[in-house]
Structure 1
Amino acid sequence: MVLLVIDTQKLITNTDLYHYDIFVSNVKKLIKTARETHTEIIYVRHDDGAGRALTRGTEGFEIYEEFKPCKNEKIFDKTVNSPFKETGLLEYLNEKQVGQMIVVGLQTEYCIDAAVKCGFEHGFEIIVPKESNSTFDNAYMSAEETYKYYNDFIWNKRYASCITVQETMERMCR
């Protein structure tokens, strides 16, 4: 089992997120529990490329301070929504014979959706802890509607087990 923390970068981890305080609290709990139970934590960062706000070398590219990785925790960088495309992550997970993955982070309808669906297609058992992914309002749906659409309708019991943070932490302790 690994905890995959996706795109929790300074530029987009802010109070405009749906249930920001709950999201931050839950991700912190999961990271803390993972460290206590020796569950590997893997971070993924998104790089939009030169000249963009979310780009390697900018302050916003770095991981949000409250989720900061320890020195021994791996970071994979990506340039598309999926954390598995040309990052080395898939090969790393397969080499370690990881079967189960907890997915948390940003943004629900973009990179979290890609991670859940692509991870499922690569044969991983996916766990999405409730209120541990988030997003912003968009032109089509509120952030709340987007969150519920993916977590309650699209992923749960199709691509992933969407369970409580407490249930997820209990699974890490097994």
Structure 2
Amino acid sequence: MYALLILDIQVGLVHGPDKLWRCEELLETLNTLMDNARSAGAPIFLARHIGPAGSPIEPGSPLTMVAQELKLQGGEVVFEKRRPNAFEMTDLADNLRSCGATGVVVTGMKTQYCVDSTCRAARDLGFDAVLIAEGHTCSDTPVMKAEDIVAHHNATLDGPFCQLVRAEEWSF
């Protein structure tokens, strides 16, 4: 069984100063994936990135709350993380194993940080990792456009670190 993992779809990123590439489409994709996971009885995990005290994303900051555009129904597991890798210093691996998940479908943001490191870590921890090709995003950087960052990571991660699948081709 695969669990759905949504990384850092939180107020401070979705509604922050940096424009995210294809954000509206991403939110629609994530809501559809959550509906599909619920229909299949697959668990849904949402990570919220928390920063140090005094930072804009310090514990308790409204910027760390799950973005209201995600249609949560109450059965999801929402957890906090403090590192890009969602497994690091969290109970995610134990929670996946305890619900019988042998694989994790990785989505969310930001592509080059949390999505990348979580995909890489999943395999190391013995989980089959699936990356939804259009299920993650980021913002432009001074060096590269967000669209190119996403394409680069899709190409780099597919194979050695995860299986790249389009959302409409995935079923839980």
Which shows bigger deviation, 51-60 or 156-165?
A: 51-60
Q: Distance in 2 between matches of 1:81 and 1:70?
A: 26
Partner residue of 1:42 out of 41, 45, 68:
45
Q: Distance in 2 between matches of 1:167 and 1:156?
A: 15
- Give the TM-score of the pair, scaled to structure 1: 0.91
Partner residue of 1:141 out of 131, 139, 144:
144
CA contact 1:18–1:134 (8 Å) conserved in 2: yes
> Hey, what does 1:118 align to over in structure 2?
121
The CA deviation at 1:68 is: 4.6
> Hey, what does 1:160 align to over in structure 2?
162
The CA deviation at 1:126 is: 0.9
Does 2:5 match 1:4?
Answer: yes
The CA deviation at 1:95 is: 2.8
The CA deviation at 1:76 is: 1.6
Q: One-letter code of the match for 1:133? A: H
CA RMSD of superposed structures (Å): 1.4
State the Cα deviation string for residues 36-66 of structure 1 (Å, max 9, x = none).
2221101111001211112221221100112
Q: Distance in 2 between matches of 1:62 and 1:12?
A: 10
Q: Distance in 1 between matches of 2:119 and 2:26?
A: 18
Q: One-letter code of the match for 1:18? A: W
What are the ranges of 5 or more consecutive residues in structure 1 without an aligned counterpart? none
Partner residue of 1:95 out of 90, 98, 108:
98
Secondary structure at the residue paired with 1:114? helix
Secondary structure at the residue paired with 1:77? strand
Q: Distance in 2 between matches of 1:72 and 1:27?
A: 15
State the Cα deviation string for residues 117-152 of structure 1 (Å, max 9, x = none).
00011111111112110000112211111111101x
Identity of aligned residues (%): 22
Q: One-letter code of the match for 2:162? A: A
CA contact 1:31–1:67 (8 Å) conserved in 2: no
Structure 1 moving runs of 4+ over 2 Å: 68-72, 94-97
What are the ranges of 5 or more consecutive residues in structure 2 without an aligned counterpart? none
CA contact 1:43–1:69 (8 Å) conserved in 2: no
CA contact 2:31–2:71 (8 Å) conserved in 1: no
CA contact 2:43–2:99 (8 Å) conserved in 1: no
Change (3 A) 1:124 1:67: same
